[in-house]
Amino acid sequence: MTDSTKQYAVQKSDAEWKAQLSPAEFHVLRKAGTERPFVGEYTDTKTVGVYKCRACDAELFRSETKFDSHCGWPSFYAPLAEDRVEYIEDSTLGMKRVEVRCANCGSHLGHVFEGEGYGTPTDQRYCINSISLTLAPA
């Protein structure tokens, strides 16, 4: 799933990731899977804090940028900083999308969409799998 030519600060073999992550976490984070909608632990949470990469603990999003999109996954309108995530063109499933990965370890987080009409400052929706994140309450 990750770009084999890219050097990430955190690098592990599949065996090491499998030892660290649950099978469901490995499927989403390392193989670009998607959790089912409306089942993730952070879909509707309002807890204030910082959302981190479940694989490497890098800080990715703040609760202040989380909004209710009613899409079934946690939605944010911006990452904590642009250098925290990377963007990969994704043409799987017969559509053009932009995949969002953790810039620290290359783990799959979800996708970002633009121009959907949400009343957010960026007009973007970072649609992120709950299973890709952990929340550190403020």
Q: Is 110 a member of any domain?
A: yes
* Residue 67 CB-density burial (10 A; 0-12 exposed, 13-18 middle, 19+ buried): middle
H/E segment holding residue 15: helix 14-20
Q: Is 3 a member of any domain?
A: no
Q: Look at the chain and report how many structural domains it folds into.
A: 1
Q: Write down the catalytic residue from 53, 56, 102, 127.
A: 127
Known catalytic membership, residue 56: no
Q: Is 1 a member of any domain?
A: no
Residue 14: Cβ within 10 Å count:
11
Task: Find the CATH number of the domain harbouring 107.
Answer: 2.170.150.20
Q: Is 93 a member of any domain?
A: yes
> What range defines the domain where residue 105 resides?
14-137
- Averaged pLDDT, groups of 10, the chain, 138 residues long: 70 96 98 96 96 98 96 96 93 84 97 94 96 97
Give the per-residue pLDDT at 1. 46
Q: Is 6 a member of any domain?
A: no
Task: Write the DSSP assignment of 26-68 as a string of letters.
Answer: HHHHHH---PPTT-STTSS----EEEEETTT--EEEEGGGEE-
H/E segment holding residue 124: strand 124-128
Q: Is 72 a member of any domain?
A: yes
Look up the pTM and report it.
Answer: 0.92
